[in-house]
Amino acid sequence: MNLKSTALSGVLLAMIATSTQAETIYLTAARMIDTVAGKAVADPAVLITDDRITAVGAQTTLPAPAGARRIDLAGQTILPGLIDMHTHITSRADIGGYRALAITTPASAISGVANAWKTLQAGFTTLRNVGADGYADVALRDSINAGETAGPRLFVSGPAIGATGGHCDDNLLPASYHDTGEGVADGPDAIRRKIREVHKYGADVIKLCATGGVFSKGDSVGGQQLSLEELKAAVDEAHMLGLKVAAHAHGTAGINDALRAGVDTIEHASLADADSFALAKAKGLALDMDIYNDDYILAEGTKNGTLQESIDKERSIGRKQRETFRAAVRAGVTMAFGTDAGVYPHGDNGRQFAKMVEWGMTPILAIQASTVTAAHYLGSLGDGLGAIAPGKFADIIAVAGDPLADVSELERVKFVMKAGVVYRQDGRAVSR
Ligand SMILES: [Zn+2]
C-alpha cells in the first residue's frame, strides 16, 4: 500500500465515522410559527439530532451545544414542513384530455421524480397522493424512502376506486377498445375486494370517487356515483385494514352520503351544504377544498388539451366551490389543505394559501390546515408531522418576513429541511 492510498483510506474511514455519528444542528431564526398554539414566537432556537427535533426554546434559554452545526435563518420565519393532502404527483398539468392516453406508467413515474423535487423545493415535505395509475406513486414513494431520489415523504393511494363510467374510470375511448380504469369496482363486495387489492400493492390510503368530476368524460360533475351502501362497505373495509379514506365528491348528495359513511376527508366539496357542514362537524371530519386551481384550469386548460366539456364543468362549479369554502369556514368546519396539484403545475401548491385567506380564512388557520390539521387527518401516518416540537421529524421550512402578516410569503419558501437534511437554503436548491 503506497502513501497516497493510505492517506485516502484514512479520509474514507473519517467519512464513515462521521456519517455514523449523530449530527446535532442548532437552528435559529427571527420567528417561529407555533402551529399547535396558533401563534408566532420570537427568536426561537431548535435543536435537531439526525432526523428528529430534540429541543425547542428561546435563543436566550436554549444555547448552542458544543460542536453543533449552526444554521442561522436571520430575519426569517420558520414553520413546520407543509403538507398537501391532495396531489397527483405523477401527473402533468400540461397534458390533458386525449393527449393523456399517450402517457405510459413508466413515463408518469419519471414525471413524478421531477415533480417531487419541485414540490419539495416549494416547502412541501409531505404529500398525500390520491390517485395514480400503475402504482407509479407507490414506486416513487419507495424510491424516495430508499434515498434513491429526493422528494417529500409520500403517502399514496395507488389507483382511485370508483364505479364503471364514473370519475375514476377511463371514459375517453369507445367500447371497442375495452378500456377500463384500474380502480373500477361496482357493488360493496367488489369495492371491498378492490380495497384489499390496492392495500396488497402498497397503498397507504384509500381514494374513492363518490361523485362525478371535472376531468371525467361524460359524467355530471355533481352526480352521485357510489351508493351509501358502497361507501359504507369501503369505509368499513379500509378502516379494518388501518387505512384512512379520502372521498372525491363535488355534489351535495354524494358528499353527504360519504360523510354519513364516515370517510375521513371530503375532496373538493364544491356543493357542500348546511347539512354537510353539520355532518362534518358532528363526526369530526375535514374538507379538502382545492380552491386555487380554478384560475389555472380556465386560463390554460384548452391549451393543455383539456376537453371543452371539462372546461365547462369547471366554469359551472369553480366559483361556487369558493363560495362554499367561505360558508364552511364561517360555519366552523375543519379544513385540511389539499390542492389537486397535477391539475395545475407542481411546485405552485403554496399559491392556495392566499386564496384561502381571500375567501375567509385567517392566515394562521390556513397554515394549520397544511400542518397540524393535515397531520391529524393522516392518522398514525401523521405522527411526527405538522409541528416544530421535540420528538417530531425535523421537517422545517423558512420564509422571509412574517407569513401571518402576508401569507403569500409561503409562495416564496427560502429554506427547506426534511428529516434533518437541508434541500434548500438562501432561496436556492441544495443539490443532493
Ligand atoms: Zn384530484
155: in domain: yes
| Digit-coded pLDDT (tens) for 377-391 | 999 999 999 999 999
Ligand 1: distance of its center to the CA of 167 in Å? 10
Distance from Cα 23 to the centre of ligand 1, integer Å: 39
Domain span at 295 = 82-349
Domain identity same for 69 and 108: no
pTM: 0.94
For the segment 62-76, what is each residue's pLDDT rounded down to a tens digit?
999 999 999 999 999
Residue 417 dihedral angles phi and psi, to the nearest 5°: -125, 130
By the CB criterion, residues less than 5 angstroms from ion ligand 1 are 340
pLDDT for the residue 8: 44
Q: How confident is the model at residue 12 (pLDDT cuts 50, 70, 90)?
A: very low
CATH number of the domain to which 299 belongs: 3.20.20.140
Whether 146 maps to a domain, the answer reads yes
Alpha helices in 301-362 (DSSP H): 308-330, 351-358
How many whole angstroms from 169 Cα to the centroid of ligand 1?
A: 13
User: Quick one: average pLDDT of 307-317?
Assistant: 89
Highest mean pLDDT among 235-249, 288-302, 310-324: 235-249
C-alpha dist (Å) from residue 322 to 60, 289, 355: 44, 8, 9
Are residue 76 and residue 95 in the same domain, yes or no? no
Q: Rounded mean pLDDT of 296-317? A: 90
Crossing angle of helices 252-261 and 228-240, in 10° steps, is: 40
pLDDT value, residue 218: 84
Together in a domain, 220 and 302: yes
* Domain annotation covers residue 379: no
Q: How many folded domains does the chain comprise?
A: 2
Residue 59 inside a domain? The answer is yes
Is 425's pLDDT higher than 70? yes
Residues 43 and 188 in one domain: no
User: pLDDT tens digit string along 91-128?
Assistant: 999 999 999 999 999 999 999 999 999 999 999 999 99
Work out the percent of the chain whose per-residue pLDDT is above 90: 87
Answer with the one of 325, 349, 373 that is the final residue of a domain.
349
pLDDT at 18: 45
Name the amino acid, one letter, at 125.
T
Kindly indicate the confidence band of residue 214, based on its pLDDT and cuts at 50, 70 and 90: confident
The predicted structure's pLDDT at residue 16: 43
Cα of 159 vs centre of ligand 1, distance in Å, is: 12
Output the pLDDT for position 431.
79
**Integer distance in angstroms from the first to the last C-alpha of the chain?**
33
Q: Which strands, in side-by-side order, build the sheet including 265-268?
A: 205-209, 244-249, 265-268, 286-288, 335-336
What pLDDT sits at residue 220?
85
CA of 88 to the centre of ligand 1 (A): 6
Kindly give the distance from the C-alpha atom of residue 171 to the centroid of ligand 1, in angstroms, as a whole number: 16
Ligand 1 center–CA 386 separation, angstroms: 22
Q: Evaluate whether residue 62 is within a structural domain.
A: yes
In terms of domains, do 261 and 294 share one? yes
User: How confident is residue 21, by pLDDT bands cut at 50, 70 and 90?
Assistant: low
